[in-house]
Amino acid sequence: MPTVRNPINPNTFIDITSALENIPFSYGRYADSGLFTEQGITTQATMFKVVEQKDTKMTKLTSRTERDAMALDKEKEKHITMAGLTVKITGGVHVEDLMDVSTDLFTMESDTWQDATLKELTRMGNAGAANYEYLITTASQGRVRDPKNGDVAMDLFTMTGTTQTTFTLDASPDSDIFAELNRLTNVVSELNGSNGNIGQIEVVLGETAFSAVVAHPDFSGLAQLAFSGMGQVAMNNQLLNGTVGLQERTRYGYRREFAWNNFLFVTYPQKFRRWDNSQVDAVAANKGWTIVHNVTGLYEVKFCPAPYASQLRGVGTKWLARTTGIVDDTHSDMTLESHLIPYMKRPEMSLDITVTTA
């Protein structure tokens, strides 16, 4: 952790951002997954281009010699501009926190003060990580929400002029679950248009919805067929060995997942705790949304530079952590902040899914 002071101006802030690298944050399921392409920028806003692609339509038969070829409709373009959102957390270390802890002289260089600073930075970092993860997770649904109360801070559907597609997945025992999933695949593919092939479709589900899908009788029947004549290979199947849908302990909590064809069904491992101490799930019990992988440039987050003299003309970073050093021989103030723009370029790829069982 840097501790070098400016001898000309002792009130200069000390950058302690590097200390964050040693802190294992308690939130970060999607923030640390690599889903969002991260990039620092030198401005307080960013812009991307939306190309309105026309539906593919067939043309008429034309003459071999006459000039009666049909011209296709031209694509329309528009630019979306967004300004940065700010997460800023304050804290500090006071001499009262260290009384009766050590007989050493308290300075910024002392181990006791360094340890107290790192402890406080860890507390602030976990709060910041929860904010960031909430922003990233809601951004993957097309609407970035305020961590305090869930209000929409950026609606990419409105900004891009698109409408979110709702999809009802019938997981009742009498339904054809494979036909339902094939229908879901087709909807995602149609929304993707001519933007290349889609990769794995991750469906984030609430606990009730996840259980309804993985426990569907069609999957049990498929497992029985796989068992016939396949021996140990079949026994390694999650559906046969009883491990399908079991909770898996991860760094961020317990989650369940089940892969089938190009689908990955998952539950979110944690609840978010708001400022008023209420808890909120990432997704409702019978709901879900889609995250489409291997689509270039679909999920992005830009980092704007912090509004300080030392950051002017610089490239924004994910986090900036600073401390004042010891002020008035009593305390040091600390700040942790991020100025970010998380977004989906094509929010229509996030489907609002409702799972029904009757």
Q: pLDDT by residue (tens digit) across 260-313?
A: 888 999 999 999 999 999 999 999 999 999 999 988 889 999 999 999 888 888
* Residue 171 domain flag: yes
Is 314 in contact with 126 (CB distance < 8 Å)?
A: no
Does residue 89 sit within a domain? yes
238-247 pLDDT, tens digit per residue, is: 655 555 555 6
What range does the domain containing 341 cover? 14-51+78-356
Tally the domains of the chain: 1
Span 128-143, average pLDDT:
97
High-pLDDT (> 90) share of the chain, %: 55
Name every residue whose Cβ is closer than 8 Å to that of residue 119 and which is 6 or more positions away in sequence: none
Q: Which CATH number belongs to the domain containing residue 330 in this structure?
A: 3.90.1690
Cα–Cα distance for residue pair 276/172, rounded to 1 Å: 38
In a domain, 273, yes or no: yes
Does 293 fall in a domain?
A: yes
- Which residue, 250, 287, 286, is CA-closest to 269? 250
Write out pLDDT tens, residues 145-183. Answer: 999 999 999 999 999 999 999 999 999 999 999 999 999
How far is 340 from 38, CA to CA, in rounded Å? 10
